[in-house]
Amino acid sequence: MNAGSGDRDADSREQVIAQVLSRAGRTFTLWRVGKSTGIADTAREAVRLARQQEGIVVAAGGDGTINTVAQEVLGTGCPFGVLPQGTFNYFGRSHGIPLDTAEAVETLVRGRLRLVQVGLVNDKVFLVNGSVGLYPRILEKREAHKQIFGRTRLVALLSALVTMLTPPPQLVLTLHGGDNPSMLHISTLLVENNPLQLEEVGLHESDAVQKGELAAVAVKAKGVWQMLGGLALAAMRRLRDSEKVVSFPFVQLTVRPLRRRRIKVATDGEVNWQVPPLVFKAVPHGLLLIVPDHEGEGKGEP
């Protein structure tokens, strides 16, 4: 559990988790991590114990925390559970997992297993999206503003708006996703693995995502007014109407930035440096996720 995720008291969340699991007669070990730098090491230990005891590994936190734990779970065969406790919680919401902590823990006890798709950029997992360009910069500024003003959606949105007032230089990318590579001059490239996020901005590729494909969203806007115009269309769920946005589904996409030895890449809100080329691809049955069992409600505990 990332004690720094969300805006609720970590002690209260921990108490709720313990109460629900104890009432259900489930044994568990809860690691409370105060800094994101310790999550990966703790997750590896959780995976080791889960494999020994035929248990499950659960991530409690925002999408970044869930991403870090999923990175360690991927390929181990361990069932994976999430307790969404972040700002936007796109991963949990897209799979119907309750945002209320007690209800989410009940899902761990009474839910069912579903194979869900994972995105990869080189060897780095993303469950919601991966990106280069302006978006990683927005995420870095957002984290700094959250530490000062609090972890709320309003702070996140205002932070993004302020950052967009001084957009970075354009990126020149060569995209190889088929027979004919294309070159784009963009401010940001977003690769989506989350249909909910695509639906919220009005892009039709939401139908393809999670069915063995990802969606690329390239924003070609230059300057403040074009960026704000795109933001307004996104808020109205009409981003598909923007002439400055190109979007398309794909299975695998290779991205080569012009004259860059390394580039910042954001994966589910966490920013890291990677060495090009960047290979984005879908792993259709990557994680065995515990989701609500609506069909089995009222039939008793499995």
More confident residue, 191 or 7: 191
Same domain, 89 and 209: no
Whether 298 maps to a domain, the answer reads: no
Identify the band that residue 96 occupies on the pLDDT scale cut at 50, 70 and 90: very high
> Average pLDDT, stretch 176-184?
82
Whether 300 maps to a domain, the answer reads: no
Q: Which long-range contacts (CB under 8 A, 24 or more apart) does 224-227 make?
A: 224/164, 224/165, 224/166, 224/167, 227/134, 227/164, 227/167, 227/187
Same domain, 84 and 148: no
3-state secondary structure of 62: coil
Same domain, 137 and 99: no
| Residue range of the domain that includes 173 | 126-284
| Structural tokens at position 157 | 């949105």
> Model's pTM, two decimal places?
0.87
Q: What letter does residue 204 receive in the DSSP assignment?
A: G
Same domain, 253 and 195: yes
Instruction: Indicate if the pLDDT at residue 76 is higher than 80.
Output: yes
Instruction: Indicate if the pLDDT at residue 296 is higher than 60.
Output: no
Whether 297 maps to a domain, the answer reads: no
pLDDT digits (tens, 9 = 90+) for 192-216: 999 999 999 999 898 889 889 999 9
**What distance in Å separates the CA atoms of residue 136 and residue 187, rounded to the nearest whole number?**
11
Q: Which long-range contacts (CB under 8 A, 24 or more apart) does 51-54 make?
A: 51/76, 51/77, 51/78
Same domain, 105 and 230: no
Same domain, 140 and 245: yes
Same domain, 200 and 227: yes
Whether 5 maps to a domain, the answer reads: no
Whether 302 maps to a domain, the answer reads: no
Q: What separation in angstroms does the CA of 47 have from each of 50, 133, 221?
A: 5, 33, 43
More confident residue, 232 or 107: 107
| Structural tokens at position 205 | 């590729």
| Structural tokens at position 280 | 């984005």
Same domain, 66 and 15: yes
| Structural tokens at position 293 | 């069992």
Per-residue 3-state assignment (H helix, E strand, C coil) for the chain = CECCCCCCCHHHHHHHHHHHHHHCCCCCCCCCECCHHHHHHHHHHHHHHHHHHCCCEEEEECHHHHHHHHHHHCCCCCEEEEEECCCCCHHHHHCCCCCCHHHHHHHHHHCEEEEEEEEEECCEEECCEEEEEHHHHHHHHHHHHHHHHCCCHHHHHHHHHHHHCCCCCCEEEEEECCCCCEEEEECEEEEECCHHHHHHHCCHHHHCECCCEEEEEEECCCHHHHHHHHHHHHHCCCHHHCCCEEEEEECEEEEEECCCCCEEEEECCEEEEECCCEEEEEEEEEEEEEECCCCCCCCCCC
**What distance in Å separates the CA atoms of residue 144 and residue 159, rounded to the nearest whole number?**
9
Specify the number of domains making up the chain.
2
Give me the chain's average pLDDT, please.
Answer: 88
More confident residue, 59 or 188: 59
Same domain, 149 and 216: yes
Asked if 183 and 170 count as a contact pair (C-beta separation under 8 A), the reply is no
Whether 74 maps to a domain, the answer reads: yes
Angle at 274 between CA 270 and CA 276, to 5 degrees: 140
> Average pLDDT, stretch 259-281?
93
Q: What is the CATH number of the domain that holds 224?
A: 2.60.200.40
Same domain, 203 and 63: no
Asked if 3 and 33 count as a contact pair (C-beta separation under 8 A), the reply is yes
Q: What are phi and psi of 58, to 5 degrees?
A: -125, 135
Q: What is the CATH number of the domain that holds 16?
A: 3.40.50.10330
Same domain, 27 and 86: yes
pLDDT of residue 300: 42
Instruction: Indicate if the pLDDT at residue 301 is higher than 60.
Output: no
pLDDT digits (tens, 9 = 90+) for 102-114: 999 999 999 999 9
Same domain, 93 and 188: no
Whether 222 maps to a domain, the answer reads: yes
Whether 174 maps to a domain, the answer reads: yes
